[in-house]
Amino acid sequence: MVLAPMAGYTDLAYRLICRRFGAEYCSTEMMLAKLMVQDGKLRRRLVASDKADHPVAAQILGNDPGVMAQAAHVLAPMGFDVVDLNFACPVHKALTRRRGGYLMSQPDRAVEIVRAVTAAADGPVTVKLRQRFSDGETNCDAFWRIAEGAFDAGAAGLCVHGRSVEAKYTGRADWEFLVAVKQHFADRTIIGSGDVLTPADALRMLRQTGVDAVAVARGAQGNPWFFRHVRDIAAGRDPAPVHLTAQRELIEGHFAAACDLYGPRRGPKIMRKFGIKYARMHPNPRRVRAAFVEVTSPRHWRRVLEMFYTDRLEDSREG
């Protein structure tokens, strides 16, 4: 079970939380390669590490093979076990700057980047890619060219999201494509991604596609217990319920870790978006979400927890 890279979510604090519940391999969010080659506050925060956070991948985003290689070279000694290349991001800004998913339309450039990075990195290099650039394409030639080229260049594995870049998150991820990828690269490491939204989906993907590991993204937002529930189901147990007191304890720990990582001013602001996601696990998700949205200070944050995270609310589900 892998915690998939998520911009704004898979920071050190959240990775450590997910590991406690069974995420065996985690990734940073995508990090701009050109920011990785110069020291600065943003880089220090993005590359924050901990000896409990292993194995961990540093994911980089960029278009210039030389800069990507330099970034990979500086990241390995910072405590990352793997360098992962993002050829999947569908965000407009990335595409207009010819990064991320744009590279699914430029197989030669993509392979050139993998070659440069594998030559420069001391450790394993992996690639995150999508099925194709556009749904209008009748085949996935670019995917196969990039995948073959990456393995020829020495890549250690691929993480495949079975959607086109243009589709972003619409429609359904094509798990049949994952079957084809795993069959084609039977003795290579393939991680599957896309629409693993429930713990049962994770086991279904493993069974149906034969991938070596399953990456969980949206399903793990605000729900680090996801990983434990997968294990429960795999062992034939009902997923253990997460009581409000346990949710509160975890959220409090996360708040403290975020303040350590981002400082006492930014930490609480960052926690607002996590609080909104944690609200989904609450019996009254809409009210709790609305309360987290309004939070302006650590005191206010504590009040929301005191108000909503007590066992007496356990059974008061929203009608």
Residues in contact with ligand FMN, shown as a per-residue x/- string from 258 to 297 under the rule CB under 6 A: ----------------------------------------
Alpha-carbon distance values, 257 to 16, 149, 166 (Å): 10, 40, 36
Piece of the chain touching ligand FMN by CB under 6 A; list 44-52, 210-218, 231-239, 248-256: 210-218
Among 30, 83, 125, 206, contact with ligand FMN (rule: CB under 6 A): 30
Q: What are phi and psi of 2, to 5 degrees?
A: -115, 135
Of the candidates 112, 114, 109, the residue with the CA atom closest to the CA atom of residue 128: 114
Task: For 174-219, give the DSSP string.
Answer: -HHHHHHHHHHTTTSEEEEES---SHHHHHHHHHHH--SEEEESGG
Among 1, 12, 46, 59, contact with ligand FMN (rule: CB under 6 A): 59
Residues in contact with ligand FMN, shown as a per-residue x/- string from 225 to 264 under the rule CB under 6 A: ----------------------------------------
Asked if 67 is part of the footprint of ligand FMN (rule: CB under 6 A), the reply reads no
Among 128, 132, 229, 282, contact with ligand FMN (rule: CB under 6 A): 128
Identity of the residue numbered 4:
A
C-alpha torsion sign, points 15, 17, 18, 21: positive
Piece of the chain touching ligand FMN by CB under 6 A; list 13-21, 81-89, 112-120, 287-295: 81-89
Asked if 29 is part of the footprint of ligand FMN (rule: CB under 6 A), the reply reads yes
Strand, coil or helix: 76? helix
Calpha distance 299→287 (Å, rounded): 19
Asked if 219 is part of the footprint of ligand FMN (rule: CB under 6 A), the reply reads yes
Active site residues: 89
Binding site for ligand FMN (CB under 6 A): 4-7, 9, 29-30, 59, 86, 88-89, 128, 161, 193-196, 216-219
